Amino acid sequence: MKIVVDRHACEGNARCSEAAPEIFEVRDDDKAYIKLENPPASQIDKLKLAVRLCPRQAIKLED
């Protein structure tokens, strides 16, 4: 599984880094970045929550 952030759509609302702080961070350019490319199984629920909460739907999970 690959996590993809569309940084054109991202506007730095930081919902992802609140939901899954181990996986996402929002940097000074107000864009989300992936800290952890392959999160462990214990983090998958948080990852899915982050995808769901993004107001711009900028995070996708690809197989």
Partner 1 sequence: MEAPNIDSLSLDTLEIVAGPHFETNGYPHAEWTYLRKHAPVYWYDRENVNPFWAITKHADIVEVARQPKIFLNGPRLLVTTKDQLIEGGDLLFRHLLNMDPPEHAKYRDLVNRRFTPRAVRSLQQEVEDIANDVMNELMETHRNGGATIECDFVTDVAAKVPLDVIAALLGVPKTDRMQLFRWTNEAIGSSDPEFNQGASAKETLERARAGLFTYFSNLVEERRKNPKDDLTSALGAAQLDGQPLPIFEMLSYFLLLVVAGLIVSLGFAAYSFLSGRQF
The CB-of-53 to partner 1 minimum distance in angstroms stands at 8
**Run of H or E residues at 3:** strand 2-5
Residues that bind partner 1 in the complex, under the rule CB under 8 A: 11-14, 26, 28, 30, 52-53, 57
Both tokens of 55, joined, read 């107001």
Distance of CA 19 to CAs 46, 50, 59, Å? 6, 5, 13
**Would you say 13 or 43 has its CB closer to partner 1?**
13
Q: How far is the CB of 61 from partner 1 (least distance, A)?
A: 15
For the bound state, the minimum distance from the C-beta of residue 57 to partner 1, rounded and expressed in Å, comes to: 6
